[in-house]
Structure 1
């Protein structure tokens, strides 16, 4: 651990042999063996510096030619309380950083250590974003670092067959890292070094010998794939959706692009490293392109086509019908239950959840806070059952045996409904207190369970609040001036994209919008709070609507979200 000043351990005399293959790289561009990399990792109090999050630890390893030149590590005093769930995740507590240097001392020391190197990070946008932010805050000119993101390289190198995802922990296992990532900065930086070296060793056999080749790496394709380039010849240089089909016209894969011909040609020339997609290209007999007016229309069409055809080579979005909701029933003694569809029964629903497990985790968080019944089945106004174990433990008001009066029970249900639909503070406060207590008792595994439950709750509540807000609007018309100067227009009805277009040069904007609305798809509202489209489609629309520069042309209904809603808490778990 670090005290008041950053520490640098000089290890220039230590030789690492795990990456000796670099020493035979060709002298083209900047040979990787001659490049000095500074692999950095940060621990912080939250998601982004823009929301007030601070750096709590910096760890870095400087390497060249497979040799470790030095290491840098320091805790950083954030001058703000470290959230309990962050303390549980990283093991860094308020007491540990109390005597650590502030970022005003730690950052200049790190920049001096990293000078003249190529910065490397796993998800570099996060780490470098924090460093640049605080450099700007301190009026320190940002050095002209080149940046290499190991996540981006891994996506081209490591297939899904090798690892379920491209998280650092998964890649560390693939490349047999000597350090296990543990959410501490120096340990994670060391693991990233092993991952970087492992990928370089693998790519060295494919002719990737220089920094330039590594940054622009794309796999070489087989001659059989290259011969199929003609399948892209009839596609336009326009944005839209493309579908690869086999000899029986069955859809194999659906994708989107700003330039259909260029993107499809890339499958036959270079840039495709996914083994499954390479297999798909060998099977493909034709490619169909659908031109779209806007990028958002292309995204939505892609989702709809994947849901319709369920292509075997698309991994995501194939089964939007498989959903799980959390339901607060409407009955004399309401309860929470998990359901697969929303009914027009005046009940309150939250979701859909990304998985059944996430829904169960959210349910557990709510049961921790609100002592409503957990038994299934309906209870009459005057039930006469026996009390369950939860009642004996004080975790249920026990309406089944008459222990709870209806007014007290109804008050708890009102608090629960408010937490689900408007203000999650009660749940957040109580679960945070439990996490803090467990962490202080060093019961970190149990604290982690509480953290995961809280994350599931706030994510689900935030998602439901955002979707419900848009879903209740019969129509929203919005426009945005794009980088090329054109105005894109979208008509959204009950959360579903009903029309998309681009205002032609010289056209009267109001007349064009009126015409687009008149020709838009007729959309009927769905049952309950769910959108008239898939949740994923409505979320794509919301992301577009929330972009800078979007102007609302017409809003039929009220498009609002609660000020104290779950969205502000969900950002902590992004």
Structure 2
């Protein structure tokens, strides 16, 4: 039977019951009665989120005082459960044997909790394990808003009202229907009643919105709380926001699907990052650029990061810090790692280390020279060759043992690999893996597999991005989720115009207007025709999202499928093998 808490969901009665009440500024944001809470509890093998493992997950979803659903499951931790934990929780090794693994359970839980405010008693413990689980399983951390009933109780309850703030004590104090038992679902149910009891208390103090609830905790400094009014002028629309400091400098740039709601979160306790708290206290105003849809906001964010390099953005120091592989322009070209893409360069790589690793992987199968000296066309007969000659890894053009014509096929093979027209070097790397495995050198084979997979993945990504950057003009549409369309005009890997056609608006006139107003792009030399790598990546991801449709294209947009593209399934199997090896025994 569902129940409703009077503060959150009591139905109006009496005269004027159907009259909408006057809402405060905060209630215009997120009234508590409209907030979906997911109250969770994790049982684990210990208290260290990095070293210990989850044995049970319990969660209850509530809104307006009504229970919407429950989630509960045992989890096989993959490790023995310490006897002390079994005594505490009653969860034995036999109980979790045959239970689903965390990797199986986590996607279902993330879907259950999607979009909700997370609540837990001592939330840093449970949310810490959830964050660690997302990282281990390869999921992006969704950065949910979090409410901790322990901290809220310490703030709300007066001294002497309870002997302590343990969950069992608070459950008894608020007459919870469920007694905590150190089992996940029971504890989550008890925490729901504690949450409602605490909300009733703060409701008497005028707390009616999620923002006010988060502000009520002592973690919010007075300076940050005062600055919350900086969001008052922002629209409930997607876009980019810029925090500016006392000298009008840009402190931070971000994107949001709802500008006002997102910016207000920086001034509440849900923001836990110390540098960002500092930034929010320093800010004197917040500028914004309203955008048609999230893709436009993402691209504008990248461009503003590159233009302002705000100090509080982690990636703002060098937002364009990509690296490339290039063949040097000399008689005997060699592979070089460079910052600026050249006409025949290959990339992009996210770091110099990644680019160097790709070079070292190619050296294992390509006879292109590894030395950095500049060799004249005729070589330097009589010199001393390096040990690579004896290892069969180089034909020693440096001492005149190989002429330019004999050296050229190795260079051409690399150029064809980069262009997506040849995969023989990848095939050779695969054969090397099989050879190592055949000799039972399994650790060496696994390392070779991982290096080959990274190279093939980098080649595939670079070839896809280069193919997009070659297209003179491309117009695409993605559904907006409400019966309308989001449009993007892309020219040589750059977003040049963006707009939307809501449901009921004829789309093609909007497309024609966007094309006529799009920026002119003059392509440059290089694999991405001068477009920033991160912008091309953002556009490629959007264009590749299921549901996105091609409206028109100046030339066929094709991607190489025979070279690195043919290795996508193999790369997927390699990633699965790597994940399996990373799992604890």
| TM-score between both structures, scaled by the size of structure 2 | 0.64
Find the counterpart in structure 2 of residue 234 from structure 1: 233
Find the counterpart in structure 1 of residue 498 from structure 2: 500
**Mapped partners of 1:234, 1:492: distance in 2:** 32
Aligned pair partner of 2:408 in 386, 407, 410: 410
Judged with a 3 Å threshold, the aligned counterparts in structure 2 of structure 1 residues 271 and 441 are, in CA distance, closer, same or farther, namely farther
Q: Whose relative contact order is higher, 1 or 2, with alpha carbons under 8 Å and at least 6 apart?
A: 1
Aligned positions of 1:155-554 closer than 5 A: 157=124, 211=188, 220=217, 221-224=219-222, 225-344=224-343, 348-385=344-381, 386=383, 387-422=385-420, 425-438=423-436, 446-447=444-445, 449-503=447-501, 507-554=505-552
User: Shift of the alpha carbon at 1:437?
Assistant: 4.7
Query: Deviations along 1:414-439, whole A, 9 cap, x unmatched?
Result: 32222222167434443344445545
Does the aligned pair in 2 maintain the 1:60–1:71 contact within 8 Å? no
User: Shift of the alpha carbon at 1:336?
Assistant: 1.1
User: Shift of the alpha carbon at 1:153?
Assistant: 10
Secondary structure in structure 1 of the residue aligned to 2:252:
strand
User: Shift of the alpha carbon at 1:341?
Assistant: 1.0
Count residues in correspondence. 439
**Mapped partners of 2:94, 2:317: distance in 1:** 46
**Mapped partners of 2:433, 2:250: distance in 1:** 48
**Mapped partners of 2:95, 2:363: distance in 1:** 45
**Mapped partners of 1:524, 1:275: distance in 2:** 43
Judged with a 3 Å threshold, the aligned counterparts in structure 2 of structure 1 residues 480 and 322 are, in CA distance, closer, same or farther, namely closer
Judged with a 3 Å threshold, the aligned counterparts in structure 2 of structure 1 residues 363 and 474 are, in CA distance, closer, same or farther, namely same
User: Shift of the alpha carbon at 1:518?
Assistant: 1.3
Q: Alignment RMSD, CA only?
A: 4.3
Judged with a 3 Å threshold, the aligned counterparts in structure 2 of structure 1 residues 29 and 476 are, in CA distance, closer, same or farther, namely closer
Does the aligned pair in 1 maintain the 2:479–2:485 contact within 8 Å? yes
User: Shift of the alpha carbon at 1:444?
Assistant: 5.8
Secondary structure in structure 1 of the residue aligned to 2:454:
helix
Find the counterpart in structure 1 of residue 20 from structure 2: none
Aligned pair partner of 1:561 in 530, 536, 559: 559
Judged with a 3 Å threshold, the aligned counterparts in structure 2 of structure 1 residues 407 and 454 are, in CA distance, closer, same or farther, namely same
Does the aligned pair in 1 maintain the 2:322–2:533 contact within 8 Å? no
Find the counterpart in structure 2 of residue 175 from structure 1: none
Judged with a 3 Å threshold, the aligned counterparts in structure 2 of structure 1 residues 223 and 411 are, in CA distance, closer, same or farther, namely closer
Does the aligned pair in 1 maintain the 2:320–2:534 contact within 8 Å? no
Give structure 1 stretches of 5+ with no counterpart. Answer: 1-14, 20-27, 42-57, 75-109, 130-144, 172-182, 184-199
Aligned pair partner of 1:39 in 57, 65, 75: 75
Secondary structure in structure 2 of the residue aligned to 1:375:
coil
Look at both structures and tell me which one has the larger radius of gyration over its CA atoms.
2
Does the aligned pair in 1 maintain the 2:469–2:528 contact within 8 Å? yes
Does the aligned pair in 2 maintain the 1:40–1:121 contact within 8 Å? no
**Mapped partners of 1:565, 1:203: distance in 2:** 55
Query: Deviations along 1:11-46, whole A, 9 cap, x unmatched?
Result: xxxx97869xxxxxxxx979xxx99752347xxxxx
Find the counterpart in structure 1 of residue 106 from structure 2: 124
User: Shift of the alpha carbon at 1:242?
Assistant: 0.9
**Mapped partners of 1:71, 1:153: distance in 2:** 30
| TM-score between both structures, scaled by the size of structure 1 | 0.66
Does the aligned pair in 2 maintain the 1:61–1:72 contact within 8 Å? no
Does the aligned pair in 2 maintain the 1:398–1:404 contact within 8 Å? yes
User: Shift of the alpha carbon at 1:303?
Assistant: 1.0
Judged with a 3 Å threshold, the aligned counterparts in structure 2 of structure 1 residues 60 and 296 are, in CA distance, closer, same or farther, namely farther
Aligned pair partner of 2:93 in 70, 76, 92: 70
**Mapped partners of 1:17, 1:550: distance in 2:** 45
**Mapped partners of 2:398, 2:430: distance in 1:** 30
